[in-house]
Amino acid sequence: MRYPQSALILLGALAVSASAFAGPSDRDAEAAVPVMASAAALRLPTGTQLSTMVVAHDDEQAVAPAVFARPRDPRRALLSSLDLATGVVQGYDGFLTLRVVRAGGVETNPLVKPVVGNQGAMMAMKVAAAVSTVIGVESLWKRDHRVGAIVASVVANSAMAMVAHHNAKVLARLEGR
C-alpha cells in the first residue's frame, strides 16, 4: 500500500516543482528561449501533460520538466466521475453479497455462485467487472462516441446500484431490521 502513495506523492511533487520551470524568469523575459520538447510525455489524472523540456539559454542547456494544461472538457470530468462510481458500486455490491451469504442468504446469479464462498475470488471478480466496464466505456469515448460512453456508464452504474439496493433489502430482512 505504501508504493502507490509514494508514487502519487512523487508525481505531485513533480507537478508542483514543474510549474517553477515552465517558463523563463522575469529577468529573462526579453531573451528568446528556444525550447524543444522530448518525446516522453505523461498525462496526469488532473488533465495536465508532464514532459521533459530541453531549454537552451546563454550557451547552457538544462533539462526541466514542464506542465501544459490540457483544455478541460466538462463531459470528460463527468465520465471520470462515472468511472469512479463504477468501482464504488461494484465494491459495495460485492460487500453486500458477502454479508448476505454469511447471514444465510443465497446467491441467485449463476455466474457468481461458484465464487461467493471465497471472499478474495468474489472481490477479484468485482474488480474485473468494474475494470472491464471502465475499459469498455473509455473505448467508446476514444472512438468519439462520447454521449454513448456517458449513457453506457450511467446504465451500467444504475443496474449495479439496483442490484446493490436489492441486496441491502435482503440483508436487512435476514438481520431482522
pLDDT in tens, 13-66: 445 444 434 444 444 444 444 444 444 555 555 555 555 554 455 555 555 555
Strand partners, 35: 55
Whole-number Cα distances in Å, 172 to 15, 82, 107, 160, 167: 47, 28, 16, 18, 9
Report the alpha-carbon distance of residue 51 to residue 39 in Å, rounded: 8
- Are the beta carbons of 66 and 18 closer than 8 angstroms? yes
Whether 21 and 99 map to the same domain: the answer is: no
pLDDT-wise least confident of 68-77, 91-100, 128-137, 159-168: 68-77
In this predicted model, which residue has the larger pLDDT, 52 or 162?
Answer: 162
pTM of this structure: 0.58
Strand partners, 176: none
Range of the domain at 166: 74-174
Place of cell 447471514: 103
How many domains is the chain partitioned into structurally?
2
The yes-or-no verdict on residue 108 having pLDDT over 60 is yes
Whether 108 and 63 map to the same domain: the answer is: no
Whether 60 and 102 map to the same domain: the answer is: no
Report the alpha-carbon distance of residue 67 to residue 96 in Å, rounded: 43
Residue at a domain's end among 69, 98, 126: 69
pLDDT tens figures, 109-120: 888 889 888 899
Q: Is 135 exposed, middle or buried (0-12, 13-18, 19+ CB in 10 A)?
A: exposed
Residue at a domain's end among 69, 101, 126: 69
Whether 153 and 105 map to the same domain: the answer is: yes
Whether 57 and 84 map to the same domain: the answer is: no
Whether 167 and 80 map to the same domain: the answer is: yes
Residue at a domain's end among 35, 69, 103: 69
Whether 162 and 79 map to the same domain: the answer is: yes
Place of cell 453479497: 97
